[in-house]
Homo-oligomer: A and B are copies of this chain.
Amino acid sequence: MTIYNPHNLTEEEFLQQYDPNAFDRLSLSIDTVIFSINVDPQTINYRKLDDQKLAILLVKRSDHPFLGRWALPGGFVGMQETLDEAARRILQNKTGLDDLYMEQLYTYGAPNRDPRMRIISCSYLSLIDSSKYQLHVSELVEDSAWFEVELIEEKGCLRISNGETTFLVKIEQKSVRKGKQIITSWQVAAESKLAFDHDAIILDGLLRLRGKIQSTDIVFNLMPELFSITQLQQIYEIILGQKLLAPAFRRKIAHTIVETGQYSQDKGHRPSQLFTYQQR
């Protein structure tokens, strides 16, 4: 059965005369917030536990706009790719790894977020096991580096630092009316020295991560194969931005991990048993 539209065209005829340029067109990029856990080699002390930090991968822009500024790894979506495929390709390029945890985060589309033209950014959140990336990232020519990220609520500040360069992104709790409710959330309050609106994307990524580690198992994508419970607890504490009580923490995660019988070594204190993740 052939269907005609109000201009008496069949679908085939319609598609033939359709002019893709009749409507405004724009570009679509993917930007990826890649989280990992870093240990500063300078602070390693065999008497103490490693000082773990949440880290993100940034790349230095080598062309206009924002030349020389740090940005999230990203790229344009190819015409034959799905969004997930584009995100996976970009991750593979930057980290050399292929089966990372990855989820779509949010889509940013302010008209002037890019000075070249209207570019929409579909952002992705990715998590990478700290024991794996070192091999790959350093091989890449591109100027990329891991930056520690910390949300300091008291100071209204998102601190992003790699030792050499530090960004202090001013943030504030904004209340927005949404229908009958007033919803309060952290927002970037002032322009920072990062490229584009990437400071806002990083903040949203961190908040998504914070929300999801409470209700899912995604932390284990940040962990090496073997880890101690205290190590895991510290990562929760970094991401949540608050201290947790050990017994309660143990009870909560007990069902997601299994004993290995192996123990940590070469530390100036009681060794801890190493566990591994096991999905329920």
Residues of A within 8 A of B (CB): 3, 5-6, 9-11, 14-15, 18, 20, 23-28, 62-65, 67-68, 76-83, 99-104, 106-111, 115-118, 120, 122, 127, 129, 177-182, 217-218, 220-221, 277, 279
Contacts and interface: CB of A to CB of B under 8 A. Distances in A.
A80 B27 CA distance: 15
Given A100-B179, A103-B178, 5 more contacts: A18-B116, A26-B27, A26-B28, A83-B120, A180-B220
Given A102-B178, A178-B102, A76 B24 contact: yes
The 4 closest A-B pairs by CB, nearest first: A101-B179, A14-B64, A25-B25, A83-B109
B122 A14 contact: no
A265 B5 CA distance: 50
Nearest to A62: B6
A220 B180 CA distance: 7
A216 to B, nearest CB: 8
A67 B23 contact: no
A4 to B, nearest CB: 8
Contacts of A122: 107, 109, 120
B179 A67 contact: no
Copy number in the complex reads 2
Given A82-B109, A107-B83, A120-B120, A127 B65 contact: no
A217 B24 contact: no
A65 B15 contact: yes
A67 B181 contact: no
B107 A24 contact: no
Contacts of A81: 111
Given A102-B179, A178-B103, A63 B23 contact: no
12 contacts: A11-B64, A15-B115, A18-B116, A20-B117, A82-B110, A82-B111, A83-B109, A100-B179, A104-B107, A107-B107, A178-B221, A182-B279
A179 B91 CA distance: 13
Given A15-B116, A63-B6, A106 B104 contact: yes
A101 B122 CA distance: 22
A104 to B, nearest CB: 6
Contacts of A103: 178
Contacts of A178: 101-103, 221
A55 to B, nearest CB: 17
Given A5-B63, A220-B181, A24 B27 contact: yes
A129 B28 CA distance: 35
Residue with the greatest number of chain B CB neighbours at <10 A, chosen from A107, A120, A277:
A107
Contacts of A116: 15, 18, 20
